[in-house]
Amino acid sequence: MMKRIALLLVFTIFIQTGFGQGVFSGDLSLNGNFYQRDSLRGAAGTPHYDNLFSGADSWLNINYRMEDFNAGMRFDLFNSSALHNPTQSYSDEGIGAWYVRKKVDKLTISGGYIYGQVGSGIIFRAYEERGLGIDNALIGIGLEYEINDNWGIKVMTGRQKDLFTTFSPILKVVNLEGAYDLTKEIRLLPGVAFVNRTLDQGIMDDIVNEINLFALEDRFVPKYNMYAYSFYNTLNYKGISWTVEYAGKSTEAIRNISGDSLLNKPGSVIYSDFTYSQKGLGVTLQYRRVENFSMKISPYETLLQGLLNFLPAFSKQNTYRLVARYSAVAQDLGEMGYQADVVWTPKKGYTIMLNMANVVQFTSFSDENTIGDFLNPASKESSKLFTEINGEFKMKPNRNLMVIVGGQYILYNQEVYEVKPTVALVNTITPFTEISYKLSRKKSLRMEFQYMDSEQDFGSWMFALLEYNIAPSYSFALSDMYNIDPKKTGKLHYPTVSASFTHKATKLILGYVKQVEGIVCTGGVCRFEPAFSGIKFILNSSF
C-alpha cells in the first residue's frame, strides 16, 4: 500500500515541478449501495444482505496535458464491493491505472495502462466498462508510427490487467491501417491486425494435467502460443459506408459450452456492417458468423474475466425497463445472426424507427459440444438463440410535447444466456409509450408506461414511471415494476424512488430501489445480475 501511495506522490511532484505550464483535468465517480434484505424478491443469501449491509466503488482520475505530452493516473477504491462478483464481497484500493504518452515527430510512445482496439475489436480490445466490472487494460508499451499521410502502424506488448495485479500470459499486438481515396467520392480504409498470446508455464501445467485425465483418443498436445489475425476494410461512398472484416484464430485449448472440458480448435469470425443515410432516412444492416472464437487470456477465466476481444451483442440498445429486460450476449463458441435498423423521418417532428435482429446457433462444426447438443440434442428449438422485432413512432407536434409509442417482440434462449437448464424459450410482447411535456421554460414532466406479456420466466409485467424535472439542477422520479401475472412468485411490486441534483459538472443521484434479477447491459456487453433491494447513491464530477 505504501508503495502505491509513494508512486502517486512522486508522480504528482514530477508533473508539477518538471513541466510547469500545462492543463490538469480529472473526474470522480462514486457508487454506493446500502443493502436491505428482501428474501421474498430474491435479495438475500449473499454477504452484503446477511452481514455487510453496504458497499462502495470509486474511481478518481487525474490527467495532465502539455503540448505533445500526456500523463494520467487513476485511483480505484472497492469497499465490500459486489461489482466484480455480485454474490461475493471484494475490498481493495490502490492505483488502478496510470499512463504517460509523448509524441516525437511521427512516433507516439505510450507506457503504462493502455486502452484501445484494432479493427472493430474482434481480435483485440482493451477497454473499461465500469458498470459491468470490466477493466482489461494492457499494461505495457505501445508505439504508433505515421508511415505517411495514408498509412500508420501500431505495436503494443504487455500483460493484461487483473484488478490490481496482472495475468501472467504475454500479449503482442500489431496493427497496420490506411486511408486511400480511390476517386473523389470513394474512400477506402483498409487494415490488417495480428495478436499473439503466450501462456506461462503455470497455466500450461494446469492444461496438461487436465488433458491427461481424458480418454486416450480425446487427448491432444496443447500449444503455448495462440495467434489471431484480421483483415478489414471500410468503403465510404456518398451516404454509404460498408465495413467487412474476417478474423481467424489458430488452434488452441478452449472451454466447451458446458465449461467442463477442453476442446482443441481453431476459430473464425465473419463480420459486415452496411449503413446508408440521406436526409430523413438512415439504414443499418449487420451480419456476423462466429465459430469457436473464444478469446480469453487463458481457458481458466470465466464469464467477463480475462476478455481479450469484443463481440457486441446483436440486440438493440434499449433504454426502457421492460423492453431492455431480455438482451442477447454474443456466443463466442458458435452463432450466426443479422440485425437491421431503419430510422425514417417523413417530416419534421415525426420519426419512425424499426429494428429487427435474429441470432441462431452456428452449426458448421459437428461434435457433441455444440450449443444445441449441450442443451437438448433432440430439439430443433435449441438452435434458436435470440429474435427481436422493435418498432417506435416518435412525434413532436409542438415544442412542449413529445410522444413515443412502440412495441417489441422477443424470443430469448434463457437456457443459454443465463445458464438455466431445461427452461423453455422466453417469448414476450411488450407495448410501451413515453410522454414528455414541458410545463414551463424550466419545468417538465415525463411519463413511461410499459406492459410485457409472457408465459415464461417470471411471467407478465407492468411498469410505470413519473419523472419531474426542474432545469438545470433537479430531477425526481417514481416508478414501479409489477409482476402482474407471476410464474415464480406472488404478485410483487418492485418500486424505485429517486432524486438527482446537478451543479455545473457535478451530479448526485440518490434512490431507493427494488430490482428483479436479470441481464444488465452496458455498451453492448451484458451480464446477469441477481435481485437488488436497498439504497443506491451515485456521485459523478469532473474538473
pLDDT at 86 over 80: yes
Task: Compute the mean pLDDT over every residue in the chain, rounded to the nearest whole number.
Answer: 89
CA-CA distance, 541 to 503, in Å (whole number)? 9
* Residues whose CB falls within 8 Å of the CB of residue 428, separated by 6 or more in sequence, listed in order: 325, 326, 408, 409, 410, 412, 452, 453, 454
User: Which residues, including other chains, have CB under 8 Å from residue 334's CB and lie 6 or more apart?
Assistant: 290, 291, 292, 361, 362, 363, 365, 370, 371
pLDDT tens-digit readout, 27-41 = 999 999 999 999 999
Return the half-sphere exposure (C-beta side, CA atoms, 13 A cut-off) of residue 174: 6
C-alpha cell at 129: 466498462
Band of pLDDT at residue 408, cut at 50, 70 and 90: very high
C-alpha cell at 425: 424459450
Distance CA(387)–CA(355), nearest Å, equals: 11
d(CA 435, CA 396): 10
pLDDT at residue 522, as a whole number: 67
- Report the percentage of the chain scoring pLDDT > 70: 92
Quick one: pLDDT band at residue 358, thresholds 50, 70, 90?
Answer: very high
| CA–CA separation, 291 and 288 (whole Å) | 10
Residues 6+ apart with CB under 8 A from 159: 138, 139, 140, 166, 167, 168, 169, 170, 171
Query: How far, in Å, CA of 190 to CA of 243, rounded?
Result: 9
At 488, the pLDDT band (50, 70, 90 cuts) reads confident
pLDDT digits (tens, 9 = 90+) for 200-247: 999 999 999 999 999 999 999 999 999 999 999 999 999 999 999 999
User: Is 80 exceeded by the pLDDT of residue 371?
Assistant: no
- How is 520-532 classified by DSSP, letter by letter? EEETTEEEEE--E
Instruction: Identify whether the C-beta of residue 71 lies closer than 8 Å to the C-beta of residue 84.
Output: no
What's 83's DSSP letter?
A: S
Contact 469, 485 (CB under 8 A): no
Q: What is the 3-state secondary structure (H, E, C) of 134-191?
A: EECCEEEEEEEEECCCCEEEEEEEEEEEECCEECCCEEEEEEEEECEECCCCEEEEEE
Phi, psi of 299 (to 5 degrees): -75, 0
Select the more confidently predicted residue: 372 or 208. 208
